[in-house]
Amino acid sequence: MAFLEKSTRKCNECGEVLGRFWGDDICPKCKESKNEAILAIENQRKTEELDKYEEECKKAKSICKNIILSTTPSLEGYKISEYLGIESSEVIIGTGVVTDFISSITDLVGGRASGYENSLAKAKQEAFDILRFKGALLGGNAIVGVKSSYMDIGDNMFGVFIEGTIVKADLINYEI
């Protein structure tokens, strides 16, 4: 009765005798430890990648504050040294039922729809921030030819669209 004989296969890691029908070359405990070690290494790598990405984002955000925006194709006092590309940002917002209700009353009696104004102003600022961020990621320090537009998408949704050309601009030193 050969099938009743004890298995002589041993775990490659710890030497524990493996069951006859165990298909791997390592025991369940060692396999679990190995899987945990692999997961720990993968998590460490992901954490390092995330930290690097977050550091790049922080750097770009700090640069964003200094990016010049201009609706003109040039900047007075600066020489454009490099054109880095055309970029755009889009922000879609929902106005909400309350804003729509208050605005409909304002429409009847006259006056400003401050709910809509506030929503659009917030969306516009967010779109400018996104465009600045894209500019920083491309290595620019200015965005020229900036244009903004709005669109009523329907179903109480509005879009704010901002576009411009990302450039590197050098301050011109005027010697007297």
The string of pLDDT tens digits covering residues 126-151 is: 999 999 999 998 999 999 999 999 99
Nearest alpha-carbon partner for 148 in 118, 116, 121 = 121
Tens-digit pLDDT profile for residues 46-66: 999 988 888 887 877 787 889
Q: Which tokens hold the place of 95?
A: 């106005």
Indicate the Cα dihedral angle 123, 128, 130, 131, nearest 10°: 140
Tens-digit pLDDT profile for residues 69-126: 999 999 999 999 999 999 999 999 887 655 555 555 555 555 565 667 788 889 999 9
Q: Which tokens hold the place of 152?
A: 């009523």
Looking at residue 55, its pLDDT comes to: 86
- Angstrom distance (rounded) from CA 168 to CA 6: 76
In total, the chain counts a number of residues equal to: 176
What residues does CATH 3.30.110.70 cover in the chain? Answer: 68-171
Strands 78-94 and 157-171: antiparallel
Give domain 68-171's CATH superfamily: Hypothetical protein apc22750. Chain B (3.30.110.70)
- In contact, 116 and 49? CB cutoff 8 Å: no
